[in-house]
Amino acid sequence: MSAEGIADVAGVLANRTRAAFCDALLDGRPWSVSQLARKGGVSLSTASEHATVLVQAELCREHRQGSSRYLQLADPRVAACLEDLASLVEPRPVAARTLRAASKSQALARGRTCYDHLAGRLGVAITEALRDRGVLDATLAVTPAGLEWMATHLDGPVPAGRRPLSRTCLDWTERRPHLAGAAGARLCAVLFDRRWIRRIGADRAVVLTSEGEERLTDLLGPWRGEVP
């Protein structure tokens, strides 16, 4: 990418409202423009303008359902870019203005989705447990034994494709890496399907269920996970 291209993308993300939209879209789900407007604290018409900018920059793609317009991040590369940018910023403590805001911040730090994989303390703890079991090596690459483990315990082999099988994603709250890539996405999807984790609220915070804690302990042995 040319310097001009980098500057163009950076300029799109430099807007606080568009950055807030992208942060919301990191949960991997489509959001309507009206939902994004509420998230960003702007009018519907202003939100629509920002949505158009994100689509034109190819950071998001849009879907239309009747008169409603929905946005999603364009692909996993955009999500990885956003998370990497967040990891460059040293976390700054911000005094929550309300109890609800404080609870939300704590929930996101405990566990959340980062587009299609797990992050926060939960994501880091599972990643470290997989490394301790030899599913991942020190660089978080999937080992040969890990490929067999995933095929056995994650409903079949992780499909090959253009996306890396595994990728290190520096967790911006924990300052430690968690597992991303196709393997991270498969793990997250399986945990949701089995109801071992569940979402809380409308944001991307997730919690480990009681059954999930028990089953993951069976799979991973003693680990640092707990029901938040």
Mind listing the pLDDT tens digit for each residue in 23-73?
889 888 899 999 999 988 999 999 999 999 999 999 999 999 888 899 999
- Indicate the number of domains in the chain: 2
Instruction: Report the alpha-carbon distance of residue 61 to residue 72 in Å, rounded.
Output: 6
Statement to judge: residues 122 and 166 lie in one domain: yes
Residue 112 and residue 205 in one domain:
yes
Verify that 16 and 123 share a domain, yes or no.
Answer: no
Whether residue 105 sits in one domain with residue 139? yes
Tell whether 179 and 110 lie within a shared domain: yes
Residue after which a domain boundary falls, among 39, 74, 109: 74
Query: 12 is in which domain, residue-wise?
Result: 3-74
Query: Are residues 198 and 150 located together in one domain of the fold?
Result: yes
158-213 confidence digits (pLDDT tens) = 887 778 899 888 887 888 899 999 999 999 999 999 999 999 876 788 999 999 99
Is there a contact between 130 and 178 (Cβ–Cβ < 8 Å)? no
201 falls within a domain: yes
Residue 101 lies inside a defined structural domain of this protein: yes
Buried b (16+ CB within 10 A) or exposed e, 142-151: bbeebeebbe
Specify the amino acid at residue 31: W
